Amino acid sequence: MTQSTQIRTQTQLSYAQFLERCSEDSWAEWVDGEVVVLTPASDRHQDLSGFLAVILRLYAEIRQLGAVRSAPFQMHLGEQRRGREPDLLFIAQEHLERLQPTYLEGPADLAVEIVSPESRLRDRGAKFAEYEAGGVREYWLLDPEEHRADFYLLGDDGRYDRRKTEQGRYSSSVLTGLELCLDWLWQQPLPPLLQVLKELELI
C-alpha cells in the first residue's frame, strides 16, 4: 500500500458517513472515525497489483472458489473501527454475502498488501494486527523493493502463523491448489501473463 495522510475531522465520522463523503474512486481509509488519504501508487506497485489481480481472479473464477476485488475497494472491520483498502481481496464462495455494493462487510478470506517504503511499518504493524484480530484468514505482504514475500495464515488460536515457501513457491491455503512462484513477482518487466497462466494451467 502507498503513503498515507490522516485528516482529522472536527467530529468523528461513522463508517456510513465516510462512505457517503468519499467517491468510489477515492483512495482513502477509515480509522477510528477519521479519514486517512492514500497517495497515488507507483508504476511498479500498480504493475504488480494488476499482474496479481489477473492471476487470482482467473484462478478463483475457473476453480469456482469465490471473487477477487482490487483497490480501491473497502474492507470494513467493524469491531476494529477500520475501513481498509488492501491492494487485493479474495472472498470465498461461502462468504460472498459479505460483498456490498461499495465495500466488503467483514473480513476477506485473503488480503494482499504490496508494500512500499512509506507503508512498510503500517502494513507490517497496524494492518497486520487489525487483519489478524478481524479474522482475515490469509495475509500476503509483498515487498518488491526488498524482494521479500511474507505469508501468514490465521491459526485456531486466532493468531497469524508465518507460512514457509518451498523451492521458491508458496502454496495458498485459501486459494486451494494455487502455487505462486516468487520469482515472478520481482522480475522487471514482469513475466508475460499468458506464460504464467499456462504454467498455472488456467489456459
pLDDT tens, residue by residue, 17-54: 999 888 776 778 999 888 888 877 899 999 999 999 99
Report the predicted TM-score, pTM, of the whole model to 2 decimal places: 0.90
C-alpha cell at 144: 518488491
The domain locations on the chain are: 41-199
Task: Report whether 87 contacts 1 (CB < 8 A).
Answer: yes
Distance CA(116)–CA(129), nearest Å, equals: 18
Which of 177, 168, 131, 166 is CA-nearest to residue 152? Answer: 131
Mean of pLDDT values over 85-112: 97
Q: Kindly provide the residue ranges of all beta strands, DSSP E only, lying in 57-121, ordered along the sequence.
A: 66-70, 74-77, 82-84, 88-92, 103-105, 110-114
C-alpha cell at 73: 475497494
pLDDT-derived band at 8, boundaries 50, 70, 90? very low
| pLDDT at site 78 | 87
Name the one residue in this structure whose C-alpha cell is 456510513.
16
| pLDDT at site 6 | 46
Residue 2 pLDDT greater than 70, yes or no: no
Tell me the CATH architecture of domain 41-199: Alpha-Beta Complex (3.90)
Mean of pLDDT values over 189-199: 97
pLDDT 10s digits, 139-168: 999 999 999 999 999 999 999 999 999 999
C-alpha cell at 116: 512500499
